[in-house]
A and B are shown apart, each in its own frame.
Chain A
Amino acid sequence: MKKPLDEKELTTQAKTLFDDSVERLDAATLSRLNQGRQKALQETRDPGSAGEWARWVPAGGLAAAAVVAVVVWQGVPVEQSAPAAGTATDFEIMLSEDSLDMLEDLEFYSWIDTAGTEPSGDVG
Protein backbone atom coordinates (compact mmCIF):
# COMPACT_ATOMS: atom_id res chain seq x y z
CA MET A 1 0.00 0.00 0.00
CA LYS A 2 1.26 3.45 -0.88
CA LYS A 3 1.98 5.85 1.97
CA PRO A 4 -0.07 9.06 2.26
CA LEU A 5 1.29 12.26 0.71
CA ASP A 6 2.98 14.62 3.09
CA GLU A 7 1.21 17.93 3.68
CA LYS A 8 3.65 20.07 1.71
CA GLU A 9 3.49 17.75 -1.29
CA LEU A 10 -0.30 17.69 -1.16
CA THR A 11 -0.80 21.44 -0.94
CA THR A 12 1.83 22.21 -3.59
CA GLN A 13 0.36 19.76 -6.06
CA ALA A 14 -3.22 20.84 -5.30
CA LYS A 15 -2.33 24.51 -5.80
CA THR A 16 -0.52 23.78 -9.07
CA LEU A 17 -3.53 21.89 -10.42
CA PHE A 18 -5.92 24.59 -9.28
CA ASP A 19 -3.82 27.36 -10.89
CA ASP A 20 -3.62 25.30 -14.05
CA SER A 21 -7.41 24.94 -14.20
CA VAL A 22 -7.77 28.70 -13.68
CA GLU A 23 -5.46 29.35 -16.62
CA ARG A 24 -7.50 27.03 -18.82
CA LEU A 25 -10.79 28.88 -18.49
CA ASP A 26 -12.31 29.47 -21.91
CA ALA A 27 -12.99 32.82 -23.55
CA ALA A 28 -16.77 32.59 -23.15
CA THR A 29 -16.43 32.11 -19.41
CA LEU A 30 -13.95 34.99 -19.14
CA SER A 31 -16.37 37.17 -21.05
CA ARG A 32 -19.18 36.34 -18.63
CA LEU A 33 -16.89 37.10 -15.70
CA ASN A 34 -16.07 40.45 -17.26
CA GLN A 35 -19.77 41.22 -17.68
CA GLY A 36 -20.38 40.37 -14.04
CA ARG A 37 -17.53 42.63 -12.98
CA GLN A 38 -18.90 45.53 -15.04
CA LYS A 39 -22.28 45.12 -13.33
CA ALA A 40 -20.56 45.19 -9.96
CA LEU A 41 -18.61 48.33 -10.88
CA GLN A 42 -21.86 49.96 -11.95
CA GLU A 43 -22.87 49.59 -8.31
CA THR A 44 -20.15 52.01 -7.21
CA ARG A 45 -21.46 54.65 -9.64
CA ASP A 46 -25.17 54.00 -9.28
CA PRO A 47 -25.92 51.97 -6.14
CA GLY A 48 -28.89 49.65 -6.47
CA SER A 49 -28.82 49.60 -10.28
CA ALA A 50 -27.47 46.07 -10.71
CA GLY A 51 -29.66 43.20 -9.79
CA GLU A 52 -32.44 45.37 -8.34
CA TRP A 53 -34.96 42.76 -9.41
CA ALA A 54 -32.84 40.08 -7.77
CA ARG A 55 -33.81 41.41 -4.35
CA TRP A 56 -37.30 40.10 -5.03
CA VAL A 57 -36.11 36.62 -5.96
CA PRO A 58 -36.14 35.28 -2.35
CA ALA A 59 -39.63 36.70 -1.80
CA GLY A 60 -40.78 35.22 -5.11
CA GLY A 61 -39.25 31.89 -4.17
CA LEU A 62 -41.01 31.93 -0.81
CA ALA A 63 -44.32 32.78 -2.46
CA ALA A 64 -43.88 29.95 -4.97
CA ALA A 65 -42.95 27.54 -2.17
CA ALA A 66 -46.04 28.63 -0.24
CA VAL A 67 -48.24 27.98 -3.27
CA VAL A 68 -46.70 24.53 -3.75
CA ALA A 69 -47.12 23.77 -0.04
CA VAL A 70 -50.80 24.78 -0.13
CA VAL A 71 -51.45 22.72 -3.26
CA VAL A 72 -49.70 19.69 -1.78
CA TRP A 73 -51.33 20.13 1.62
CA GLN A 74 -54.80 20.45 0.20
CA GLY A 75 -54.39 17.90 -2.56
CA VAL A 76 -53.12 14.86 -0.71
CA PRO A 77 -55.43 14.76 2.33
CA VAL A 78 -58.56 15.20 0.18
CA GLU A 79 -57.99 11.89 -1.57
CA GLN A 80 -57.13 10.06 1.63
CA SER A 81 -59.81 11.52 3.87
CA ALA A 82 -62.77 11.36 1.49
CA PRO A 83 -63.72 7.74 2.34
CA ALA A 84 -63.28 8.43 6.04
CA ALA A 85 -65.56 11.44 5.83
CA GLY A 86 -68.13 9.38 3.92
CA THR A 87 -68.00 6.62 6.52
CA ALA A 88 -68.51 9.11 9.32
CA THR A 89 -71.50 10.58 7.49
CA ASP A 90 -73.00 7.09 7.07
CA PHE A 91 -72.64 6.46 10.79
CA GLU A 92 -74.32 9.76 11.60
CA ILE A 93 -77.24 8.88 9.32
CA MET A 94 -77.54 5.38 10.70
CA LEU A 95 -77.48 6.52 14.31
CA SER A 96 -79.91 9.38 13.90
CA GLU A 97 -83.41 8.91 15.33
CA ASP A 98 -85.04 9.13 11.91
CA SER A 99 -83.00 6.17 10.75
CA LEU A 100 -84.11 4.10 13.72
CA ASP A 101 -87.72 4.97 12.90
CA MET A 102 -87.00 3.87 9.36
CA LEU A 103 -85.78 0.51 10.63
CA GLU A 104 -89.07 0.03 12.46
CA ASP A 105 -90.98 0.62 9.19
CA LEU A 106 -88.67 -1.60 7.23
CA GLU A 107 -91.46 -3.83 5.98
CA PHE A 108 -93.37 -0.80 4.67
CA TYR A 109 -90.37 0.55 2.78
CA SER A 110 -89.64 -2.90 1.43
CA TRP A 111 -93.20 -3.11 0.09
CA ILE A 112 -92.85 0.34 -1.56
CA ASP A 113 -89.61 -0.73 -3.14
CA THR A 114 -91.17 -3.92 -4.52
CA ALA A 115 -94.31 -2.13 -5.71
CA GLY A 116 -92.20 0.52 -7.48
CA THR A 117 -90.39 -2.06 -9.58
CA GLU A 118 -93.50 -4.00 -10.58
CA PRO A 119 -95.45 -3.10 -13.74
CA SER A 120 -97.94 -0.31 -13.03
CA GLY A 121 -100.89 -2.38 -14.29
CA ASP A 122 -100.52 -4.90 -11.45
CA VAL A 123 -100.65 -2.17 -8.80
CA GLY A 124 -103.76 -0.39 -9.95
Chain B
Amino acid sequence: MSSSKNKNKYRYIWKIFAALLVLVIVSCSITIDSIDQPASVNGGQILPVTLNVTLNTNSGQTNRFMVAVLVPTAWKVSSNSVVSFTSDITSGPQSMSVIPAGTAAPQGNGLDWPTLLATKIGNGGNLLSGWEWVAFYSNASYTVGSNATIHITVNIQIKVSNDNLLFKLGYVVGNDSNGLSDAQYYNAFFSGNCFSVIGTGDLIDFCNPQISTVEPRTSLENDIVTISYDGGVTSTILDNASQIYLCATGILSDGSSITVCAPNGQTVMSSLGLKRWRKDIWPRKYFGLTDAQHLTSFQYFFTDVTGTLKVGYGGGSSAFNYTFKCQ
Protein backbone atom coordinates (compact mmCIF):
# COMPACT_ATOMS: atom_id res chain seq x y z
CA MET B 1 0.00 0.00 0.00
CA SER B 2 2.71 2.47 1.06
CA SER B 3 4.71 1.50 -2.06
CA SER B 4 1.84 2.44 -4.38
CA LYS B 5 1.29 5.65 -2.38
CA ASN B 6 4.94 6.60 -2.95
CA LYS B 7 4.66 5.87 -6.66
CA ASN B 8 1.62 8.14 -6.94
CA LYS B 9 3.45 10.83 -4.99
CA TYR B 10 6.45 10.73 -7.37
CA ARG B 11 4.21 10.77 -10.43
CA TYR B 12 2.43 13.80 -8.98
CA ILE B 13 5.77 15.61 -8.37
CA TRP B 14 6.99 14.84 -11.88
CA LYS B 15 3.78 16.18 -13.36
CA ILE B 16 4.15 19.41 -11.40
CA PHE B 17 7.79 19.71 -12.49
CA ALA B 18 6.92 19.05 -16.13
CA ALA B 19 4.14 21.64 -16.02
CA LEU B 20 6.49 24.21 -14.49
CA LEU B 21 9.12 23.42 -17.11
CA VAL B 22 6.61 23.96 -19.89
CA LEU B 23 5.48 27.17 -18.23
CA VAL B 24 9.07 28.45 -18.13
CA ILE B 25 9.75 27.53 -21.73
CA VAL B 26 6.53 29.06 -22.99
CA SER B 27 6.64 32.12 -20.79
CA CYS B 28 10.05 33.71 -21.58
CA SER B 29 10.35 34.87 -25.16
CA ILE B 30 10.09 37.72 -27.60
CA THR B 31 8.99 36.95 -31.13
CA ILE B 32 8.46 38.90 -34.34
CA ASP B 33 5.25 37.14 -35.42
CA SER B 34 4.94 38.90 -38.78
CA ILE B 35 5.98 41.99 -40.72
CA ASP B 36 4.13 44.24 -43.12
CA GLN B 37 6.56 45.56 -45.69
CA PRO B 38 5.99 46.57 -49.32
CA ALA B 39 7.86 44.74 -52.07
CA SER B 40 9.24 48.00 -53.42
CA VAL B 41 9.21 51.77 -53.13
CA ASN B 42 10.37 54.54 -55.43
CA GLY B 43 13.68 56.23 -54.75
CA GLY B 44 13.52 59.03 -52.22
CA GLN B 45 10.17 57.84 -50.83
CA ILE B 46 9.23 56.51 -47.40
CA LEU B 47 9.50 52.78 -46.73
CA PRO B 48 6.82 51.92 -44.13
CA VAL B 49 7.34 48.73 -42.13
CA THR B 50 5.22 47.25 -39.34
CA LEU B 51 6.56 44.58 -37.00
CA ASN B 52 4.04 42.56 -35.01
CA VAL B 53 5.81 41.36 -31.85
CA THR B 54 4.76 39.21 -28.90
CA LEU B 55 6.59 39.38 -25.58
CA ASN B 56 6.11 36.64 -22.99
CA THR B 57 7.63 37.21 -19.56
CA ASN B 58 8.34 34.88 -16.67
CA SER B 59 9.51 37.57 -14.30
CA GLY B 60 8.85 41.23 -13.80
CA GLN B 61 11.45 43.62 -15.17
CA THR B 62 11.99 47.19 -16.31
CA ASN B 63 13.73 47.70 -19.63
CA ARG B 64 13.97 49.82 -22.71
CA PHE B 65 12.70 48.17 -25.85
CA MET B 66 15.26 47.67 -28.66
CA VAL B 67 14.56 47.47 -32.38
CA ALA B 68 17.26 47.13 -35.04
CA VAL B 69 17.05 47.21 -38.84
CA LEU B 70 19.45 45.83 -41.47
CA VAL B 71 19.65 48.40 -44.26
CA PRO B 72 21.91 49.76 -47.01
CA THR B 73 24.34 52.35 -45.62
CA ALA B 74 23.35 54.63 -48.50
CA TRP B 75 19.99 55.21 -46.83
CA LYS B 76 21.69 56.88 -43.82
CA VAL B 77 18.94 55.46 -41.66
CA SER B 78 20.30 57.10 -38.49
CA SER B 79 19.23 60.45 -39.91
CA ASN B 80 16.36 59.45 -42.17
CA SER B 81 13.97 57.36 -40.11
CA VAL B 82 11.27 57.51 -37.47
CA VAL B 83 10.59 54.49 -35.24
CA SER B 84 7.81 54.15 -32.68
CA PHE B 85 5.64 51.45 -31.18
CA THR B 86 2.29 50.83 -29.52
CA SER B 87 1.53 48.05 -27.11
CA ASP B 88 -0.98 46.52 -24.71
CA ILE B 89 0.67 48.23 -21.75
CA THR B 90 1.20 51.73 -23.15
CA SER B 91 -1.02 54.53 -24.30
CA GLY B 92 -0.41 56.03 -27.72
CA PRO B 93 2.71 55.85 -29.91
CA GLN B 94 5.94 55.49 -27.94
CA SER B 95 9.02 57.15 -29.47
CA MET B 96 12.32 55.45 -30.12
CA SER B 97 15.72 56.98 -30.87
CA VAL B 98 18.91 55.83 -32.53
CA ILE B 99 21.35 54.39 -30.01
CA PRO B 100 24.34 56.77 -30.05
CA ALA B 101 27.40 55.52 -31.88
CA GLY B 102 29.85 53.70 -29.64
CA THR B 103 27.31 52.81 -26.96
CA ALA B 104 28.17 49.33 -25.71
CA ALA B 105 25.43 46.75 -26.09
CA PRO B 106 24.42 45.00 -22.84
CA GLN B 107 26.38 41.79 -22.24
CA GLY B 108 28.11 42.33 -25.57
CA ASN B 109 31.74 42.27 -24.38
CA GLY B 110 32.10 45.94 -25.16
CA LEU B 111 30.76 45.76 -28.69
CA ASP B 112 28.26 48.35 -29.80
CA TRP B 113 24.89 47.19 -31.10
CA PRO B 114 25.69 47.44 -34.85
CA THR B 115 28.88 45.42 -34.44
CA LEU B 116 27.26 42.87 -32.11
CA LEU B 117 24.34 42.39 -34.51
CA ALA B 118 26.65 42.02 -37.50
CA THR B 119 28.75 39.48 -35.62
CA LYS B 120 25.96 37.42 -34.10
CA ILE B 121 23.04 37.83 -36.51
CA GLY B 122 24.93 38.39 -39.75
CA ASN B 123 24.11 40.37 -42.87
CA GLY B 124 20.97 38.61 -44.01
CA GLY B 125 22.61 37.13 -47.08
CA ASN B 126 23.39 40.46 -48.74
CA LEU B 127 26.25 39.82 -51.15
CA LEU B 128 27.83 43.25 -51.36
CA SER B 129 29.44 45.51 -48.79
CA GLY B 130 27.57 48.70 -47.95
CA TRP B 131 25.07 47.39 -45.38
CA GLU B 132 24.67 48.19 -41.71
CA TRP B 133 22.57 47.46 -38.65
CA VAL B 134 20.98 50.54 -37.09
CA ALA B 135 19.59 50.06 -33.57
CA PHE B 136 16.99 52.08 -31.66
CA TYR B 137 16.02 52.22 -27.99
CA SER B 138 12.66 53.32 -26.70
CA ASN B 139 12.98 56.76 -25.16
CA ALA B 140 11.39 55.48 -21.94
CA SER B 141 11.79 52.34 -19.87
CA TYR B 142 8.79 50.11 -19.30
CA THR B 143 7.91 47.75 -16.45
CA VAL B 144 6.39 44.44 -17.37
CA GLY B 145 4.90 41.99 -14.90
CA SER B 146 5.77 38.35 -14.54
CA ASN B 147 3.91 35.75 -16.58
CA ALA B 148 2.58 38.41 -18.92
CA THR B 149 1.91 38.30 -22.65
CA ILE B 150 2.29 41.66 -24.34
CA HIS B 151 1.62 42.51 -27.97
CA ILE B 152 3.75 45.22 -29.50
CA THR B 153 3.32 46.87 -32.88
CA VAL B 154 6.47 48.59 -34.16
CA ASN B 155 6.16 51.27 -36.82
CA ILE B 156 9.25 52.01 -38.88
CA GLN B 157 9.37 54.80 -41.45
CA ILE B 158 12.58 55.03 -43.49
CA LYS B 159 13.23 57.55 -46.21
CA VAL B 160 15.21 55.56 -48.76
CA SER B 161 17.89 57.03 -50.99
CA ASN B 162 17.46 57.51 -54.73
CA ASP B 163 19.76 54.59 -55.48
CA ASN B 164 18.38 51.86 -57.68
CA LEU B 165 18.86 48.74 -55.58
CA LEU B 166 17.82 45.28 -54.47
CA PHE B 167 18.39 44.45 -50.80
CA LYS B 168 17.47 41.86 -48.17
CA LEU B 169 16.09 43.77 -45.18
CA GLY B 170 16.27 42.38 -41.66
CA TYR B 171 14.90 43.19 -38.19
CA VAL B 172 15.81 42.35 -34.60
CA VAL B 173 13.89 43.09 -31.39
CA GLY B 174 15.24 42.86 -27.86
CA ASN B 175 15.86 44.95 -24.75
CA ASP B 176 18.58 47.03 -23.12
CA SER B 177 19.37 44.61 -20.29
CA ASN B 178 19.92 41.21 -21.87
CA GLY B 179 21.20 42.16 -25.32
CA LEU B 180 21.84 39.09 -27.44
CA SER B 181 23.08 37.03 -24.51
CA ASP B 182 20.46 34.31 -25.00
CA ALA B 183 17.94 33.40 -27.68
CA GLN B 184 15.01 33.98 -25.33
CA TYR B 185 15.82 37.68 -25.07
CA TYR B 186 15.81 38.65 -28.75
CA ASN B 187 14.38 37.64 -32.12
CA ALA B 188 15.63 38.19 -35.67
CA PHE B 189 13.45 38.25 -38.76
CA PHE B 190 14.54 38.34 -42.41
CA SER B 191 11.87 38.87 -45.01
CA GLY B 192 13.51 36.41 -47.38
CA ASN B 193 12.38 38.32 -50.42
CA CYS B 194 14.47 40.90 -52.15
CA PHE B 195 13.23 44.43 -51.45
CA SER B 196 13.45 46.79 -54.41
CA VAL B 197 14.00 50.54 -54.64
CA ILE B 198 13.05 51.83 -58.05
CA GLY B 199 15.54 54.63 -58.28
CA THR B 200 18.13 56.10 -60.56
CA GLY B 201 21.59 55.09 -61.65
CA ASP B 202 23.30 51.74 -61.83
CA LEU B 203 21.39 48.89 -60.20
CA ILE B 204 23.07 47.89 -56.94
CA ASP B 205 22.07 44.27 -56.50
CA PHE B 206 22.77 42.98 -52.99
CA CYS B 207 20.59 39.92 -53.54
CA ASN B 208 21.89 38.01 -56.53
CA PRO B 209 25.37 36.70 -57.16
CA GLN B 210 27.11 39.04 -59.55
CA ILE B 211 29.43 38.18 -62.37
CA SER B 212 31.22 41.44 -61.66
CA THR B 213 31.48 43.88 -58.77
CA VAL B 214 33.44 47.07 -58.25
CA GLU B 215 34.74 47.98 -54.80
CA PRO B 216 34.42 50.42 -53.17
CA ARG B 217 30.80 50.52 -54.28
CA THR B 218 31.04 54.33 -54.39
CA SER B 219 34.24 56.11 -55.27
CA LEU B 220 35.80 58.84 -57.38
CA GLU B 221 38.26 58.75 -60.28
CA ASN B 222 41.12 59.50 -57.86
CA ASP B 223 40.47 56.37 -55.79
CA ILE B 224 41.86 52.91 -56.42
CA VAL B 225 38.95 50.68 -57.45
CA THR B 226 38.89 46.89 -57.53
CA ILE B 227 37.04 45.26 -60.43
CA SER B 228 36.13 41.60 -59.93
CA TYR B 229 34.95 38.89 -62.33
CA ASP B 230 33.39 35.68 -61.02
CA GLY B 231 33.10 33.11 -63.76
CA GLY B 232 31.56 30.63 -61.34
CA VAL B 233 28.28 32.55 -61.03
CA THR B 234 26.97 31.54 -64.40
CA SER B 235 28.24 29.92 -67.57
CA THR B 236 29.56 32.36 -70.17
CA ILE B 237 31.60 32.27 -73.36
CA LEU B 238 34.68 32.88 -71.22
CA ASP B 239 34.27 29.59 -69.32
CA ASN B 240 37.35 28.09 -70.96
CA ALA B 241 39.51 31.22 -71.03
CA SER B 242 42.84 30.68 -69.32
CA GLN B 243 43.29 34.42 -68.92
CA ILE B 244 40.73 37.22 -68.56
CA TYR B 245 41.26 40.83 -69.65
CA LEU B 246 39.48 44.06 -68.80
CA CYS B 247 38.07 46.07 -71.71
CA ALA B 248 36.99 49.47 -70.36
CA THR B 249 35.78 52.80 -71.71
CA GLY B 250 36.01 55.89 -69.53
CA ILE B 251 33.27 58.46 -70.03
CA LEU B 252 34.53 62.00 -69.53
CA SER B 253 32.60 64.97 -68.20
CA ASP B 254 32.64 66.59 -71.63
CA GLY B 255 30.91 63.57 -73.13
CA SER B 256 33.96 62.17 -74.88
CA SER B 257 35.39 58.77 -74.05
CA ILE B 258 38.72 56.96 -73.74
CA THR B 259 38.90 53.22 -74.39
CA VAL B 260 41.52 50.89 -72.96
CA CYS B 261 40.75 47.48 -74.42
CA ALA B 262 43.78 45.76 -75.96
CA PRO B 263 44.47 42.45 -74.20
CA ASN B 264 47.95 43.02 -72.79
CA GLY B 265 49.89 43.43 -69.59
CA GLN B 266 48.02 46.59 -68.67
CA THR B 267 44.56 45.05 -68.96
CA VAL B 268 45.21 41.51 -67.75
CA MET B 269 43.26 40.45 -64.65
CA SER B 270 44.83 38.61 -61.70
CA SER B 271 43.55 35.09 -61.07
CA LEU B 272 42.20 34.28 -57.61
CA GLY B 273 41.38 30.69 -58.54
CA LEU B 274 37.96 29.04 -58.86
CA LYS B 275 37.26 31.14 -61.99
CA ARG B 276 37.55 34.40 -60.04
CA TRP B 277 39.63 37.32 -61.29
CA ARG B 278 40.47 40.73 -59.94
CA LYS B 279 42.08 43.96 -61.06
CA ASP B 280 42.94 47.13 -59.08
CA ILE B 281 43.10 50.32 -61.11
CA TRP B 282 43.53 54.01 -60.47
CA PRO B 283 41.12 55.37 -63.09
CA ARG B 284 42.92 58.69 -63.62
CA LYS B 285 46.12 56.90 -64.56
CA TYR B 286 44.47 53.87 -66.17
CA PHE B 287 42.70 56.04 -68.72
CA GLY B 288 45.67 58.40 -69.11
CA LEU B 289 43.79 61.55 -68.12
CA THR B 290 45.29 65.03 -68.35
CA ASP B 291 44.81 67.45 -65.47
CA ALA B 292 41.87 69.01 -67.26
CA GLN B 293 40.02 65.76 -67.91
CA HIS B 294 37.62 64.12 -65.46
CA LEU B 295 35.67 60.90 -65.55
CA THR B 296 32.00 60.60 -64.72
CA SER B 297 31.78 56.85 -65.22
CA PHE B 298 33.27 53.90 -67.02
CA GLN B 299 31.78 50.95 -68.88
CA TYR B 300 33.51 47.63 -69.16
CA PHE B 301 33.51 44.06 -70.44
CA PHE B 302 35.70 41.06 -69.80
CA THR B 303 37.45 39.42 -72.76
CA ASP B 304 39.71 36.54 -73.61
CA VAL B 305 43.26 36.97 -74.97
CA THR B 306 41.96 37.49 -78.51
CA GLY B 307 39.60 40.26 -77.43
CA THR B 308 36.82 38.75 -79.53
CA LEU B 309 34.94 36.94 -76.78
CA LYS B 310 33.28 39.61 -74.63
CA VAL B 311 31.18 39.17 -71.49
CA GLY B 312 29.03 42.00 -70.16
CA TYR B 313 26.19 42.44 -67.70
CA GLY B 314 24.41 39.20 -66.84
CA GLY B 315 26.85 37.32 -69.04
CA GLY B 316 25.46 39.07 -72.08
CA SER B 317 26.54 41.74 -74.51
CA SER B 318 25.60 44.90 -72.61
CA ALA B 319 28.45 46.61 -70.82
CA PHE B 320 28.79 46.77 -67.04
CA ASN B 321 28.52 50.35 -65.89
CA TYR B 322 30.12 52.14 -62.92
CA THR B 323 29.35 55.75 -62.06
CA PHE B 324 31.78 57.74 -59.97
CA LYS B 325 30.15 59.23 -56.88
CA CYS B 326 30.62 59.39 -53.14
CA GLN B 327 28.21 58.01 -50.60
Q: Do A and B bind each other?
A: no
Binding site for B on A (CB under 8 A): none
Residue positions of B touching A, CB distance < 8 A: none
